[in-house]
Amino acid sequence: MNEVLKRNNVKVIGNKEKVIMFAHGFGCDQTMWRNIVPSFEEEYQIVLFDYVGSGDSNLKVYNSEKYGSLKGYVQDVLDIIEALKLHEVIFVGHSVSSMIGMLAAIQKPEAFKSLVMIGPSPRYLNDREYFGGFEERDIHEMLDMMEMNFIGWASYMAPIVAANDVHPAVAKEVEKSFSSTDPKITKQFAEVTFFSDHRKDLEKSSIPTLIIQCSEDSIVPIQVGEYLHRHIEKSDFKIMDVKGHYPHLSHPHETIQLIKEYLYQMQ
């Protein structure tokens, strides 16, 4: 138990019966939830963690084979749930964590009560009639940039994903977060994230799901949210009239409101 909690730098706030687990996205860590967590502390036990390779996780246990697909991250989520003896978890995942949470719930549905996906995508690459937002050459160019000049990649990418023209402070925070990660681990996580395809898994998901998407998101086009909503049977789809990929940082109050409205509806 202690090994798992140290590995993923797990933090537990409160001892309420209802549990919310917040899972950060690519290149980030659990501090990204700081504007969201206080609004849920009164009613829920909060579980925060860092994926291995992020934040204050134990980098020594990183294994490129284990984390060569999302399955390694899925197993870590299930390990945390087992170590803390959690049940009926409300899993709130940002970006790639949305798919990690969904895959974990498919594997062990009895451990989950509902899923909240913020800026999710089952596949980032375009594919025939499916529009994911990226061509394969776009991802290869990004990976090449990460390898040649990691800090340069972070300073280039952060303003794009965080909508710098509207949210410069968020862009600076995202850039700092990207820059603080291990370049090799982050590059592999990027490969795993952007080349993943979990479209066939969507119909296996039996957990009630809220999909939250920003109306303008450079990472996830609106068509992706609509696709998810069509293929996840028990899903609600909410579009925020905001720009960027990090609404929990740029618009925490609106994000909190959408999550709370959904959870009250599910009671």
> What value does the CA radius of gyration of the chain take, rounded to a whole number of Å?
17
Nearest to 77 by CA among 219, 59, 96, 266: 96
Query: Is 205 annotated as catalytic?
Result: no
Q: What is the DSSP string of 71-104?
A: HHHHHHHHHHHHHTT--SEEEEEETHHHHHHHHH
Cβ neighbours for 261, distance < 8 A, ≥ 6 positions apart: none
Helix crossing, 150-161 with 168-179: angle to 10°?
Answer: 150
Q: CB-based burial of residue 81 (10 Å sphere; 0-12 exposed, 13-18 middle, 19+ buried)?
A: buried
**Cα(215)–Cα(231) distance, integer angstroms:** 20
Neighbours of 84 (CB within 10 A): 18
Do strands 235-243 and 209-216 pair parallel, antiparallel, or not at all (unpaired)? parallel
Query: Active site residue: 94, 217, 235, 251, which one?
Result: 217
Query: Active site residue: 24, 50, 54, 95, which one?
Result: 95
Query: Active site residue: 24, 245, 248, 251, which one?
Result: 245
**Cα(125)–Cα(121) distance, integer angstroms:** 10
**Cα(121)–Cα(194) distance, integer angstroms:** 9
**Cα(125)–Cα(209) distance, integer angstroms:** 23
Q: Let me know: does 22 contact 36? Beta carbons within 8 Å.
A: yes
**Cα(10)–Cα(258) distance, integer angstroms:** 25
Query: Is 245 annotated as catalytic?
Result: yes
Query: Is 95 annotated as catalytic?
Result: yes
Active site residues: 95, 217, 245
